[in-house]
Copies of this chain bind each other. A is one copy, B any other.
Amino acid sequence: MNPPDDSVLARLADTLASRRPDQGGDPARSYTAKLLARGPDAFLKKIGEEATELVMAAKDGTPDRIVAETADLWFHCLVALTHYGLRPEDVLAELARREGVSGLEEKASRKAP
């Protein structure tokens, strides 16, 4: 299998944007449209829930579940970004910026673990 192309997140974000209530997203037909229609608490709660599920999968050390739970977590982050009119490219740019500034270690100076 080829690696996924470089725009999975951007393409997904485009689809999610079309699920916004103000873009005609239909809560009866789309999970994403339902989350967006219910408002921030609905999808933010999922971020806390999926983060916990990722932690549990990681403690179990099961690779398939780690990948699946990370996908769930990132998916709900993308839903949140969509709600706030933000894009995954903004997040990638921030990650690239940090890497450029300091070879990843800028964060260390900013916030110790």
State the A residues within 8 Å of B (CB).
Answer: 1, 3-12, 15-16, 19, 29-32, 34-35, 38, 40-42, 44-49, 51-56, 58-61, 63, 66-68, 70-75, 77, 80-81, 84-86, 89-96, 98-99, 103-105, 107-108, 112-113
Contacts and interface: CB of A to CB of B under 8 A. Distances in A.
Given A6-B7, A59-B59, A104 B49 contact: no
Contacts of A98: 71, 75
A72 B42 CA distance: 17
Main secondary structure of the interface of A (DSSP, over half): helix
Contact of A54 (B38, B47, B58): B47
Question: What copy number does this chain have within its complex?
Answer: 4
A35 B113 contact: yes
B41 A54 contact: no
20 contacts: A3-B89, A4-B6, A4-B89, A6-B9, A8-B93, A8-B95, A12-B99, A15-B104, A30-B105, A31-B107, A44-B55, A44-B56, A47-B52, A48-B52, A48-B53, A66-B84, A67-B90, A70-B77, A70-B81, A75-B98
